Structure 1
Amino acid sequence: MTMNKYLLAALIATAPIAATAQSWDGGYVGVQLGSADIDVDGAAELEGDGTSVGIFAGFNVSNGGLVYGAEIDYDTTDYEIADGAQEVDSTTRLKGRIGTELGGGLAYGVAGFVAATSPGLGDDNGYLIGLGYDFPVSDNIFVGAELLQHQFEDYNDSDLDVGVTTIKARVGFNF
């Protein structure tokens, strides 16, 4: 996927920026750009992909060496399945996060729920797990990346299991 190469290049380009002392406590908001790889299993074996753009907001609390938090995000998506036969218009995620400082940034794991909207397939809910890394570029601004695996069992009672892998580049503001 070409989009993944551009996201990776953007993250590598921002990595050499010197980190400043960062407090991961408190609220944050940001924007994200991503791409997805979609696999559908069941009566039909289909594939898809696409891009997304969205917003996120969350809150973190530090306790010793760990950082706990919750985050919600919303993406408008341009996901196509079976060469455009089906589309996904948007996703909303509610995630729990736990992480630790690593290499000047915050490495974290996530788990949560996802809701997807599709005009042809209908709307459905699933679950997700993933990994992420946020790196401070100033006292209040961070860049990051997040890799998520989403799973929808029997999507909208269709006997189709849908797996979606996303990778996102993120820019956020701590307050």
Structure 2
Amino acid sequence: MSFVRPLIIAAAALCAPQVVAAQDWSGFYAGGTIGYTNHDARHSFPSVGAPSDDSSPDGAIYGGFVGYGVQNGQLVFGGEIDFEGSNASGSFVNNTGFTSAGRSELNWQGSIRAILGYATSLGSKPTLFYGTLGWAYGDFDFNGGPAGAGTAGGYSDELDGLTVGLGVDARLAAQTSVRFEYRYTDYGTASGDLAPGFPGVAMPVSVEQHAFRVGLRLDF
């Protein structure tokens, strides 16, 4: 049985480089995601005293991302950008007192973010757990007016603000991973009036977003 020990040592030596390679999250990568988003989009009408309300737009998001990572031990540092289209929309009608109605839509959005991750395994799968923090921007349409007149006026605005989230990349193959991610974004407050239906009537809208994504990542 004296030959068994050298065979075990040799087998372990052959297997070790494959495990290390599978755990390597360094370099360029890209991928695509689909997901769901919902917003707190609170419309107010300070110049006319109509009731405030939330149009709560929600819907699909879909797009892609590119990034670069550097691994040091089990820590992974990097940066990532993404861009997404969306069909998220929502509306409200408030019949309290001096009535109001509103509608909001997200057309597209993107972000530039830092990534800090921890490389480990989940079951038998090499896995990267990460947090992300950065700046997001998005293009929105807002409409409003009295409840009886519907949303006869409105404006478009490009908003930006802080985005922060958590995610997981789990290896499916040597260079392919499945991604799950949640992100919160504070887009701040849009400003504009309700021309042409109600010119001069201001309708600021404060927007916060919650987004859930699933996707595929390809390492190069």
Q: How many residues align?
A: 157
1:141 equivalent to 2:176? Answer yes
TM-score calculated relative to the size of structure 2:
0.66
Distance 1:96 1:135 in 2: 19
**Residues 65-97 of structure 1, C-alpha deviations (whole Å, 9 max, x = no match):** 210110000001111031692211100111111
* Paired residues of 2:36 and 2:60 also in contact (CA < 8 A): yes
TM-score calculated relative to the size of structure 1:
0.82
Matching of residues 72-111 of structure 1 within 5 Å: 72-82=81-91, 85-102=103-120, 103=122, 104-111=126-133
Offset, 1:161 = 2.2
Please say which structure displays the higher CA radius of gyration. 2
AA matched with 2:71? S
Distance 1:156 1:69 in 2: 34
Unaligned stretches of 5+ residues in structure 2: 1-18, 45-51, 93-101, 143-155, 193-202
* Paired residues of 2:159 and 2:189 also in contact (CA < 8 A): no
Aligned to 2:57: 48
Higher RCO structure (Cα 8 Å, ≥6 apart):
1
Distance 1:124 1:152 in 2: 6
Find the residue that maps to 1:154 and give its secondary structure.
strand
Of stretches 114-123 and 87-96 in structure 1, the one that deviates more from structure 2 is 114-123
* Paired residues of 1:98 and 1:109 also in contact (CA < 8 A): yes
1:113 equivalent to 2:119? Answer no
Aligned to 1:29: 30
Offset, 1:172 = 1.2
Distance 1:65 1:141 in 2: 19
**Residues 20-70 of structure 1, C-alpha deviations (whole Å, 9 max, x = no match):** 823100000111001001112362331121101101000000122210110
Matching of residues 155-166 of structure 1 within 5 Å: 155-156=190-191, 159-166=204-211
**Residues 145-174 of structure 1, C-alpha deviations (whole Å, 9 max, x = no match):** 110000022234764321100000010110
Whose strand proportion is higher, 1 or 2? 2
AA matched with 1:117? D
1:154 equivalent to 2:189? Answer yes
Distance 1:35 1:150 in 2: 14
What is the identity percentage for the equivalent residue pairs of Structure 1 and Structure 2?
24
Distance 1:135 1:63 in 2: 18
* Paired residues of 2:41 and 2:104 also in contact (CA < 8 A): no
* Paired residues of 2:160 and 2:187 also in contact (CA < 8 A): yes
* Paired residues of 1:72 and 1:92 also in contact (CA < 8 A): yes
Distance 2:212 2:173 in 1: 24
Aligned to 1:61: 70
Aligned to 1:173: 218
Distance 1:98 1:111 in 2: 9
Aligned-residue Cα RMSD (Å) equals 2.0
